[in-house]
Amino acid sequence: MPDTTRSADARHRSSILVTGAAGNLGREVVTRLRAHGARVRSLVRHQTGPRPGAESVAGDLTDPTVVREALVGIDAVFLIWPLLDSAPAHTVVAELVAAAPRVVYLSTAAMDDEAARQSDPIVQVHADMEALLHDAGLRPLVLRSDTLASNSRGWAAQLRAGDVVSGPDVARTAVVDERDVAEAAVAVLLAHPDQLDKNLYVLTGPEVLSRADQVAHLGAALRRRLRFQALPADLARSRMLADGRPEPLVEALIAASVWRPQSHCTTDHVERLTGRPAGTFARWAIDHAAEFS
């Protein structure tokens, strides 16, 4: 665990930019950084109105002018790349090189470092981003996160309508609470680089779960008998398209459901960075049960 005493001494002179600050994870990172007294600037796609104590820049992460403005006076960046294509990131990386902040990049635990190509487009773009950041000489600290528990919020509408969650099945994985990922991110953002023993951490939950397992945990939290219904790829694709999801995203999700291998990996990296073990999905389900009612 990083020595927070030393990092606390640096907070008055360090400013941190959080990209994707309006998302499930980004919001958690911003909240925790502010709770630690850090100066935080949020990069958001759309400004939703002023918030007390909040500094933000609104605009597209692929716009070099927006990124240049957001980086003024910034010492560290928490970078979440939102696209399925790394090509637009070249302009972002050029601005990062010019501004020279520390970069903490959120990647995926599904990465296979031995593979020439990754299992699906979602993992591939993270591999491309990691390579791009390293090749630019930025020496990023990489947090490879497993599946975020907050992804299950996408089932809320189905669970308000009935007791069945249907969708494409995916391989089992060590689902991780986004609050744990946020706390790990804050720990490395506030630490001096010399305090960290690695430049790559793999953040997982404590147990490997299927989608059926996650739905069962939600059922226990809601005191309802829920079940997961796996849909064939073609049917899942047509339903997601009918729901209005962008076609490239739908194809990437289908590819992940078909080709991404099962993971058996769990790590202690959340505990190593935060000082406490990663929380369970069952605990997450209890804490967020009201969102599904």
Distance (Å, whole) CA 79 – CA 208: 26
Q: What φ, ψ does residue 22 adopt, rounded to 5°?
A: -90, -5
> What pLDDT digit, counting tens, does each position of 18-63 carry?
999 999 999 999 999 999 999 999 999 876 655 555 699 999 999 9
209 found inside a domain? no
> What pLDDT digit, counting tens, does each position of 128-185 carry?
999 999 999 999 999 999 999 999 999 999 999 999 999 999 999 999 999 999 999 9
58 found inside a domain? yes
Q: Is the pLDDT of residue 4 over 80?
A: no
Number of separate domains in the chain: 1
By residue range, what is the domain housing residue 187?
Answer: 4-146+178-204+265-278
pTM for the complete prediction? 0.93
> What pLDDT digit, counting tens, does each position of 93-106 carry?
999 999 999 999 99
Q: Is the pLDDT of residue 5 over 80?
A: no
48 found inside a domain? yes
248 found inside a domain? no
157 found inside a domain? no
> What pLDDT digit, counting tens, does each position of 189-201 carry?
999 888 898 999 9
pLDDT of residue 46: 77
> What pLDDT digit, counting tens, does each position of 276-293 carry?
999 999 999 999 999 998
224 found inside a domain? no
225 found inside a domain? no
> What pLDDT digit, counting tens, does each position of 236-275 carry?
999 999 999 999 999 999 999 999 999 999 999 999 999 9
What's 46's domain CATH number? 3.40.50.720
8 Å CB contact between 203 and 143: yes
270 found inside a domain? yes
